[in-house]
Amino acid sequence: SFAGQQDTYLNIIGKKAILKHISKCWASLFTERAVTYRLQNGFEHRKVYLSVVVQKMVFPQAAGILFTADPVTSNRKVLSIDASFGLGEALVSGLVNADIYKVSNGKVIDKKISTKKLAIYALKNGGTKEQEIETEKQNKQALTDEQILQLERMGSKIEEHFGRPQDIEWCLADDTFYIVQSRPITTLFPIPEANDQENHVYLSVGHQQMMTDPIKPLGLSFFLLTTRAPMRKAGGRLFVDITHQLASPDSRKKLIETFGPDPLIKDALVTIVERDGFIKTVPDDEEVPGPGNSNRVISTAGFRTQLENDPTIAADLIKRSQTSIEELKQNIEPKSGPELFEFILEDIQQLQKILFDPQSHVVIMAAMDASSWINEEMNEWLGEKNAADTLSQSVPNNITSEMGLALLDVADVIRPYPEVIDYLQHVRDDSFLDDLVQFEGGKEARDAINAYLSKYGMRCVGEIDITKTRWSEKPTTLVPMILSNIKNFEPGAGKRKFEQGRQEALKKEQELLDRLRQLPEGEEKAEETKRMIDLIRNFAGYREYPKYGMISRYFVYKQALLKEAEQLVQGNVIHEKEDICYLTFEELREVVRTNKLDYQIISKRKDEYKLYEKLTPPRVITSDGEIIAGEYKRENLPAEAIVGLPVSSGVIEGRARVILNIEDADL
């Protein structure tokens, strides 16, 4: 049975009536609600069975639900009790608001006593009745503190027996508690595993990457092989352990500033820091123990002084990375079998050297710190807010901007050919590129799209997961974006947009410098501001490149591994190439070596992945399982405003459209 899907009947008296209501329970398998639920969740109607539990009726003075983990915050160390007078049916049906009691470590830590005007009671001769509660009793606790703690002890024993947090229905009759049902709480997000019993704070990697889907085992393996951060897995997602950074006031301040653009993460971290004793604070000059962790934080000025303001530095970093990727493509080609896996592991070492190159880090941080400096000082000196947003427009070496502008150029190639446009509006098959040549302009369109894919085809939504389908693997993904560009932009828009942004940045720079020179000590202020603007213009674009370089390498690895997967399919070791996505890197390596696999592993992990897809990953979670959601600050906002995460400054008017999946969006 599924929670809330089938019917329950109370206080049924007599054998004939019991048998009749057992049949009704069976029949409730096919209510409209139950059938719809199964259709939505992929359960076959002919494979669903129902057992009916018949329990002795008790006549409770109070009843309710006991959660052995807090259902609101998911904290495994806080137990939550909902309680009301009479039968629990009144609570479950929403007829009354229940009292809510929170218990932790044998102590009642919070009580919310509701006004309980109604209750449902069982009748001695069968059936139930709705009854008003006496006025003087309406605001009294449904359970005494002693009863709350007694119920808490029972709940803890039940959880220990089943080995996981429980959702328990209970009732109290003649001062005796009766447990009528216990089932696992299925909505809790799993806790990342720690290596000790200390308190830990984990930050979602997916939210930082704007990708909250679960990652398949092969994808998790590659990210863990690549990163140097202390990572933990939970619910098919990755979390970075930030406990050590929060322990030091200096690194804590830097961490919270870094996540300023996401107000929910920032508020969650501040909430944790303000809790007494949850994270042990250490002095700034004390080395914090942790994997590869240093407590020393380079000052804002430190990044800027380590770097010459030379625009060729970023270009050289990109050139070295691109050369390395081309060498990888050539060197991996002849590799296969166990040799391929050894080669990939060696190349990941090269990837790490590029990703964690100190000069690369300094370039990124110098631009970020210069942007912060500009925003702070221009606001203080000139009352100018968010000046860095304009100054960072159309900067060189921004691979993400270049990618968007290049797609506008693709639209320019296709725009003169109505037959091609009409064909693209109805295309469904990923082999459409080969069919384009039958239309006027089709060859030009195909070549333009292929050229785009050769440079950006390794990208996709959720690209940090190597198992995700890339644009090159599913080029139809690009079609809605190309058609949108044709519809919404004039020819040459790519070059015009870039030049417009560049001119706006230059104009803003000149305006700021002219205004600064009118101030006391204006020349010094203008000179320092000019240096900061140059740092932004020279280095801000590079911030997007390291991820592009990493994803480029991932795609090369993936293509080589899919060739191995094809061999495994031909050898009947796996059923389809994509099955390898449900194995870790080391597991796949062993399967390739032995040509043996227990396929139940794949089946089990596919089921787990479906379960993980239904879970909502938290931005911040503690080692107690508590999810710190954070709150938006609504100061200076209209009452009905919808608060979210802005991408860039500015104002746009029109109908707001909600997109749940960018791949399914009609742009």
At which residue do the structure tokens 């039940």 appear? 158
User: Residue 390: what pLDDT?
Assistant: 95
Q: Are 101 and 148 in contact (CB under 8 A)?
A: yes
The SS3 assignment for 172 reads strand
CA 594 to chain centre: 36
Amino acid found at 363? V
User: Residue 287: what pLDDT?
Assistant: 53
In 3D, which of 188, 190, 185, 186 has the Cα closest to residue 234? 190
SS3 content of the chain, % helix, strand, coil (to 5): 50, 10, 40
Q: Which residues contact 438 (CB under 8 A, 6 or more apart)?
A: none
User: Residue 296: what pLDDT?
Assistant: 38
Amino acid found at 54? V
Q: Which residues contact 502 (CB under 8 A, 6 or more apart)?
A: 393, 394
- What residues pair up with 83 in beta bridges, in sequence order? 64, 99
Q: Are 594 and 576 in contact (CB under 8 A)?
A: no
In whole angstroms, give the CA distance from residue 420 to residue 414. 7
Residue 582 C-beta-side C-alpha neighbours within 13 Å: 20
Lookup: tokens for 484: 């949108």
Q: Are 441 and 420 in contact (CB under 8 A)?
A: yes
Long-range pairs for 514-517: beta carbons < 8 A, 24 or more residues apart: 515/382, 516/381, 516/382
User: Residue 57: what pLDDT?
Assistant: 86
User: Residue 429: what pLDDT?
Assistant: 87
Amino acid found at 487? K
User: Residue 662: what pLDDT?
Assistant: 67
Q: Label residue 127 left, alpha or beta by phi (over 0 means left) and psi (-120 to 50 means alpha).
A: left
Q: Which residues contact 602 (CB under 8 A, 6 or more apart)?
A: 574, 575, 579, 582, 583
Residue 205 vs residues 239, 459, 464: alpha-carbon distances, Å: 5, 18, 10
In whole angstroms, give the CA distance from residue 611 to residue 100. 29
Q: Are 664 and 480 in contact (CB under 8 A)?
A: no
User: Residue 80: what pLDDT?
Assistant: 98
The strand pair at 118-122 and 107-112 is best described as unpaired
Residue 482 vs residues 405, 421, 477, 562: alpha-carbon distances, Å: 11, 10, 10, 29
In whole angstroms, give the CA distance from residue 465 to residue 476. 20
Residue 245 C-beta-side C-alpha neighbours within 13 Å: 20
User: Residue 649: what pLDDT?
Assistant: 67
Report CA dihedral (632, 637, 643, 648) to the nearest 10 degrees. Answer: -110
At which residue do the structure tokens 């052995």 appear? 68
In 3D, which of 280, 278, 282 has the Cα closest to residue 248? 282
Calculate ∠ Cα 603-607-611, nearest 5°.
165
- The mean pLDDT values, 10 residues at a time, for the chain of 667 residues are 78 94 95 90 88 90 96 96 92 87 97 93 84 92 97 98 97 95 93 93 94 97 96 97 93 87 92 90 63 41 63 95 98 98 98 95 93 96 95 96 97 98 93 94 98 98 96 96 95 95 98 98 97 96 97 98 98 98 98 97 97 96 96 83 74 81 66
Residues of each domain in the chain carrying CATH 3.30.470.20: 57-184
In whole angstroms, give the CA distance from residue 593 to residue 590. 5
- Give the count of beta carbons closer than 10 Å to the beta carbon of residue 104: 15
| 653-662 as b/e: b if 16+ CB within 10 A | eeeeeeeeee
The pTM score is: 0.87
H-run or E-run covering 402: helix 399-414
In whole angstroms, give the CA distance from residue 74 to residue 77. 9
In CATH, which of 3.30.470.20, 3.40.50.300, 3.20.20.70, 3.40.50.2300 is domain 57-184? 3.30.470.20
Q: Which residues contact 6 (CB under 8 A, 6 or more apart)?
A: 25, 28, 29, 34, 50
In whole angstroms, give the CA distance from residue 90 to residue 129. 10
In whole angstroms, give the CA distance from residue 438 to residue 573. 41
